[in-house]
Amino acid sequence: MKTKQTKQTGRQLIEAYIRKHEGCTHTEIREALNLSTTTVGSGLALLKRERIIESSGVNGQMRYHLQPTAPDTDKPVFGLSPNMALLNRLLAEVRA
């Protein structure tokens, strides 16, 4: 029996890439995933609107990070740096 593989959307590919490469740029994402500039731009915009990622830097040099989340929820925690949120998540996994 054949199983049907589902192709990931540009948005899913971009989110997965950012999860593995915190602080990456638009260009790094585009080159690594071999996607068009338009696809990456619209995917990033959608992820930002959904509050899955956030950006830092100045235009042309934006870096993308996962939006910090509370330990037991998927709700954003404001005022917490992305690196501190990542550290907190990793510590919670180790302690569990």
The structural domains of the chain, with segments of one domain joined by +, span 10-95
Predicted model pTM: 0.65
- Report pLDDT for 38: 94
- Report pLDDT for 8: 80
pLDDT digits (tens, 9 = 90+) for 30-84: 999 999 999 999 999 999 988 889 888 887 788 999 887 645 555 555 556 667 7
Fold for the domain defined by 10-95: Arc Repressor Mutant, subunit A (1.10.10)
- CA distances to 31, 70, 72 from 44, in Å: 15, 22, 25
Q: Mean pLDDT throughout 8-34?
A: 92
Q: How far is CA 8 from the centre of its chain?
A: 15
- Report pLDDT for 32: 96
CB atoms within 10 A of CB 94: 7
